[in-house]
Amino acid sequence: MAGKLGVLLLALVLSLAQPASARRKLLVFLLDGFRADYISDEALESLPGFKEIVSRGVKVDYLTPDFPTLSYPNYYSLMTGRHCEVHQMTGNYMWDPDTNKSFDLGINRDSRLPLWWNGSEPLWVTLTKAKRKVYMYYWPGCEVEILGVRPTYCLEYKSVPTDINFVNAVSGALDVFKSGQADLAAIYYERVDVEGHHYGPSSPQRKDAVKAVDTVMAYMTKWIQERDLQDDLNVIIFSDHGMTDISWTDKVIKLDNYINLRDLQQLKGRGPVVSLWPAPGKHSEIYNKVRRVEHMTVYAKEDIPSRFYYKKGKFVSPLTLVADEGWFITENRESLPFWMNSTVTRKPEGWQWGWHGYDNELRAMRGIFLAFGPDFKSDFRAAPIRVVDIYNLMCKVTGVTPLPNNGSWSRVMCMLKDPASSAPGAPPCACALVTVLLTAVCKPSGMPSIPGPLLEMQVLKTWHGAFNNTFKSHGSKEYLVLPAIQRWVSGSLQGQFQAEELNQGPCCSVSRMHSPWARTWTAPDMSDVLGGLEPSDSYIVFINRFSASTLE
């Protein structure tokens, strides 16, 4: 009986799925290295372009990036809604021991291999597959064929785009919106990050870079009006991470002072996060030496904190070194980064004075999020969000159904003019139906404790307030459990179960057991389940007696 009800549940929920909401055009800006306090209330007084956008739209207190707080991991988290360990883009520099291929800040030839990019499907690929037109300007990765798909147009990143390049990209994007050639345009701008690295986050050069962006933002709002796009175009602006000061005189960790670098099979990265692959037979020796070094923390892969959502990544090294804020890890003094002058000689001109990549909970690593347009509230301040949350919002305003992801709809839905608007993908009425069917499937009373065979446990994501029920807490996660099965769940979480995150509807949906979030764990320790669900989210938990095969 339970098996039949489970199949019925799957069929009915999927049959309720409806086309996504009415879509509008979307213009997205990725401002690399733009720290949250660069547009503080005080700073906005001298930034009229940003100030107008804030008054016309939404501004969050800050955006928390994924760990490591580096560019490529967060580029992909922004566009997939998935944590790094899920989408597999775990660093600016990566190495695959199986193929001996390297990803080096996206600039080497092997960086374009599907090996690095096919771990998840970014929004621009989803839209292109849906026959929508996507224009991308200097966006890292737009030149790569991902899952067999390329965007409609990609102006490839080859060097740091100039301010003129930026202005032309904004004007060009608005032109293709006006002509009906584009549904999504995405523009990447790097100068704020570059100046923050070269001169430091508090430098006049970095401040000038922000003012240059501000000028373009002012022009953009004017150009939107001139092209009569204000009723059909939403604009979202975000960054990938922040920036902090570093010092070359007293805050450098030189690894050759502690280990023989020839004992490493591979070393990737420098700065806040360094990845080590010890040579065969050298793991324990190297670990014991580097773990005693001050001002950095050394993690064996299995010991990386779960809150980083990092350790399950395919390309994560056996040893990961994480520096304290402001400290810099390098092989030796000769490997310290310097920047080149703009003359023909290209001689080193100075050390860099700003960096990022540290613990993602540090204040200096926080980024920005702004949005305005016909779907967004005006003059609205929102609570902090996480980098994975933005994907669902972009899916909503473009009218596409999001793929399973780690984002929280509850943290972003308040930004929309219609606060009761459902999450992208399915109608609200599905939730009530699922509630009824779950009660039937799970037997509200008298359910015996399960002795421990491998059962199917499906976790359905819901939003705050969707059900008037209470939280059950297991480990560091909170799950919203239907009252009818609350007692059974709390008494039966013994042995191993298999779990799956489902994030495809306004509050819930059903999917098969094949998702990349499939995990096994020993209950009641659920602190590391599902590849990174947020403690602030709520979930419905139900356990079925039928196996996954009955859902095929």
Q: Which residues are catalytic?
A: 71
Cα distance between residue 404 and residue 294, in whole Å:
40
Cα distance between residue 465 and residue 485, in whole Å:
19
Helix (H, G, I), strand (E, B) or coil at 456: strand
The stretches of 368-410 forming alpha helices (DSSP H) are 390-398
Q: Locate tokens 């990803």: which residue?
A: 103
Burial (CB count within 10 angstroms: exposed 0-12, middle 13-18, buried 19+), residue 63: buried
- Helices 2-16 and 429-442 pack at an angle, to 10 degrees, of 180
Q: What is the DSSP string of 129-175?
A: HTT--EEEES-TTTTS-BTTB--SEEE---SPPPHHHHHHHHHHHHH
- CB contact at 8 A, 84 and 320: no
| Closest residue by Cα to residue 64 from 54, 77, 80 | 77
Helix (H, G, I), strand (E, B) or coil at 434: helix
For the four alpha carbons of 179, 182, 186 and 191, in that order, the dihedral sign comes to negative
Helix (H, G, I), strand (E, B) or coil at 217: helix
For the four alpha carbons of 524, 529, 530 and 534, in that order, the dihedral sign comes to positive
Cα distance between residue 497 and residue 456, in whole Å:
6
